[in-house]
Each structure stands twice: as C-alpha cells, then as structure tokens.
C-alpha cells in the first residue's frame, strides 16, 4: 500500500516482533493470520497492547506527571519511538467533569431542502489555539460531505482514505456508494484501531441518488415545499411516475435516494439520524437545534438556525470559536457558504441589544411623559 511504503511502518513493526517476542511470529504464521495476508486491501500498522496500557497523554487528569515519569523509565528496553516531548496540558490540577474528547463544535441535520452541516474553525492544542481558521467540514465527493471532530490529522487522513475507497467503488461498480455504505466502510476501516489513540468522530452528510436522480429531485422539491411535516419518501415519488417502473420498484428507489445523515466514531459507534452535533460545544448547540430544527424549514431558516447554534456554542465553549462554515447538500451536490467571522456576529448582537434597550427606554419615557400631560 502506498501509505506503508511512504511511512515504512511495517518494517519497524516486524523487527520489533522478532526481537522481543520469540513465539509470536511462529504462532501468527501457523494460524495464517500474519499481518501481510490479513486484509489485502487494508493492512495497517497495529500497535502492541502494552504500549496502550499507559497513555502518554492523559488529557486533564491529575496524575499526569506520574504517568509521564513511568513511561520515560520504561523507555530503554522498548524499541518503539515513544514521543519524549509531550504537550502537557496547562491545567494539571483541575480534573474535567467529563472526558473532554473533541475540542470543537460541529453539527448536521436533515430537513426538506437536503442536509445542512455547520462547524466552527478553531483548532486547539493543549490550551492554546493552534489554528483559528481550520476547515472542519471536508467534502468527500460531489454528494458527500463529512464533518470532522477529534484529532485533526486523523480526521483529514481518514477522510482522504474514505474518498479514495469511494472513488474506487464508483469506478468498479459504475455507481456511487450510498451514504449508509460509506458510513459502514469507514466504521469497519476504523475498527482495527479501537483502543488506540486514534480519535475520529465524523458525521457523513450525503445525498444518495439513483438512476431516477433527476425525477426524484423534481418530486422531492415540489413535495418538500408544500409539506410541513416529514414526508414518507416512499409515497412522494411512487404512484405519480408510472411509465416503465412498477410502483413498488420506484418507491423502493425513492426510499434509497434522498438525504442521509450518519454519525461514525472511532470507538465503533455508527448511528443514522436526523440531527447530530459532535464535540465539546455540542451540548450548547443541541439546545439551539432541539428547539429550532423542523422538517419544514426553508434553506435560509435552516442556515440561520445552524449559524445561531454554532455561535452560541462558540460563545460559551472555550475550545470552539473564530469562524463558522456552513455546507448545504442537495441532490445537485454540495454548496458552501462564505466563511463568517463570529466576532462580528457578537458585535452585531451587542448592537442589536443596545438598540432594543434604547427603543424600550424611549417608549417607557414617552408613556410616562404622556401620562403626566394635563388631560
């Protein structure tokens, strides 16, 4: 695989096996489970378990210094290139209330006009902002977009790998893999790394199309704008099409096509849903989304709800901030809204509040003065 040739990971791993554990390679070869033959398409470097027992980076835990010193004492016998200069968190004495997994705010939801994905742009690294203008929503192909949360490098790499695999699938089978299939593929690719430090929490937002793509799109649009609650996709397209397809056939195809939203996490979770928010700012975003998102929103309303949710999350969460990106996925593909600075949004809101208070004050003063006028 190109990745292994580039990084030479496999060579280092094999050497370690032969020097440290004598029985292991024999067992592996006997069982036929040597890492070369295991998965032809995807063989990756899988680290030893002992290395994983002591995590060198305990984010926010109190016994950070103890674990670090323990690891440095074990360094000499091990042949692994353990990182010596670890970025320790500045707040070592304060334990976090819950595991602060991903310092970001990303959200995505489905509505009648497709799928909307929004995210902030702050990349943080142990208490400082590493990049205020990073991109957390990465397009994978023309009709699939993924929001990323967790380790930026892991997310970017795995999105590229997913894009490659989806493109290969498209070339081999002359059709795009569905969003559900892409989610399952990503989940199974991440499974060997469960228990390691790999941290990827992505929502895949896509529009599945079929041969009936154009006709579905027309019916979806006309049906979507008139209905205010979630339509049964099987019913909108089926009977009105007629022609060469049986009603069952076309309704099945209609169910298979349309907007889709999946949440995939490196711990193995894979969920389908209508609304997801991921990251440290997600509780704040959820509060705005749970009250504002309905199936019948227009594109403008949905965009404003998404922007508001990200803005509120960045206002309170220290690990989210700077800008907001909004992507909209329809049957025609994804479109991207211009990146917006939330600092300006904050000042605009302050200005609005000031004007409101001023007008209220004026009205109050006008009322009291009119009452005092002689009748």
Partner 1 sequence: MEYLIGIQGPDFVLVAADNVAASSIIQMKHDYDKMFKLSEKILLLCVGEAGDTVQFAEYIQKNVQLYKMRNGYELSPTAAANFTRKNLADYLRSRTPYHVNLLLAGYDEAEGPGLFYMDYLSSLAKAPFAAHGYGAKRFILNLPSFTVRLIDKDGIHDMEKLTLSGEMARPMKATFYPAA
Specify the residue, 153 or 271, whose C-beta has the smaller distance to partner 1: 271
The one segment of 1-9, 212-220, 268-276, 327-335 that binds partner 1 by CB under 8 A: 268-276
Q: According to the binding rule CB under 8 A, does residue 265 interact with partner 1? A: yes
Nearer to partner 1, 96 or 130 (CB): 96
DSSP-assigned letter for residue 200: B
Binder of partner 1 out of 270, 294, 315, 336 (CB under 8 A): 270
> Interface with partner 1 by CB under 8 A: which range of 64-72, 173-181, 274-282, 320-328?
274-282
Q: Which of 145, 178, 192, 195 is nearest to 325 (CA)?
A: 145
Whether 330 is a known active-site residue: answer no
Give all strands (DSSP E) within 177-257, no chain letters: 201-208
Render the burial of 265-290: b for 16+ CB within 10 Å, e for the rest: bbeeebeeeebbbbbbbbebbbebbe
Which positions from 179 through 238 interact with partner 1, judged by CB under 8 A?
187, 191, 194-195
Euclidean distance between CA atoms 151 and 154, whole angstroms: 5
Q: Which of 267, 301, 308, 340 binds partner 1 (CB under 8 A)?
A: 267
> Which of 73, 85, 93, 98 contacts partner 1 by CB under 8 A?
98
Residue 332's φ and ψ, nearest 5 degrees, are -90, -5
CB 288 within 8 A of CB 297: no
Tokens 């992507």 -> residue: 327
Considering CB under 8 A, how many residues would be counted as binding partner 1? 21
Alpha-carbon gap, residue 117 to 108, rounded angstroms: 4
On whether the CB atoms of residues 254 and 233 are closer than 8 A, the answer is yes
- Let me know: does 210 contact 178? Beta carbons within 8 Å: no
Stretch that binds partner 1, among 144-152, 218-226, 278-286, 334-342 (CB under 8 A): 278-286
99 counts as binding partner 1 under rule CB under 8 A: yes
Pick the closer one to partner 1 by CB: 100 or 156. Answer: 100
CB of 26 to partner 1, least distance (A): 17
Residues forming the site for partner 1 (CB under 8 A): 49, 98-99, 101, 187, 191, 194-195, 263, 265, 267-271, 273, 276-277, 282-283, 286
Q: Which residues are catalytic?
A: 104
């Amino acid at each position: 695989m190109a990745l292994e040739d580039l990084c030479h990971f496999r060579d280092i791993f094999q050497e370690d096996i032969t020097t440290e554990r004598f029985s292991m390679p024999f067992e592996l070869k006997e069982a036929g489970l040597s890492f070369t033959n295991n998965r032809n398409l995807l063989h990756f470097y899988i680290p030893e378990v002992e290395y994983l027992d002591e995590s060198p980076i305990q984010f926010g835990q109190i016994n950070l210094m103890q674990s670090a010193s323990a690891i440095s004492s074990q360094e000499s016998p091990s042949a692994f290139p353990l990182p010596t200069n670890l970025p320790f968190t500045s707040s070592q004495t304060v334990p976090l209330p819950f595991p602060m997994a991903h310092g970001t705010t990303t959200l995505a939801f489905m509505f009648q006009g497709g799928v909307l994905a929004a995210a902030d742009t702050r990349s943080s690294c142990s208490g400082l902002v590493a990049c205020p203008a990073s991109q957390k929503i990465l397009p994978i192909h023309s009709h699939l977009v993924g929001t990323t949360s967790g380790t930026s490098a892991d997310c970017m790499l795995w999105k590229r790998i997913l894009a490659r695999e989806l493109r290969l699938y498209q070339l081999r089978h002359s059709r795009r893999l569905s969003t559900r299939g892409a989610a399952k593929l990503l989940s199974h690719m991440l499974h060997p790394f469960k228990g390691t430090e790999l941290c990827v929490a992505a929502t895949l937002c896509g529009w599945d199309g079929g041969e009936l793509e154009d006709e579905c799109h027309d019916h979806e649009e006309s049906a979507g704008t008139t209905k205010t609650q979630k339509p049964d996709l099987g019913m909108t397209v089926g009977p009105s099409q007629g022609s060469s397809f049986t009603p069952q056939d076309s309704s099945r195809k209609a169910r298979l096509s349309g907007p889709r939203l999946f949440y995939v996490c490196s711990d193995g979770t894979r969920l389908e849903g209508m609304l997801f928010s991921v990251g440290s700012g997600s509780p704040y975003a959820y509060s705005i989304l749970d009250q504002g998102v309905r199936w019948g929103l227009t594109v403008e309303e949905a965009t404003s709800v998404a922007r508001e949710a990200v803005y509120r999350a960045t206002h309170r969460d220290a690990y989210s901030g700077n800008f907001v990106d909004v992507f909209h996925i329809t049957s025609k593909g994804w479109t991207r809204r211009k990146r917006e600075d939330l600092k300006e949004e904050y000042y605009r809101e302050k200005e609005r509040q000031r004007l409101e208070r001023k007008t209220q004050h004026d009205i109050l003063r006008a009322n009291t003065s009119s009452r005092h006028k002689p009748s």
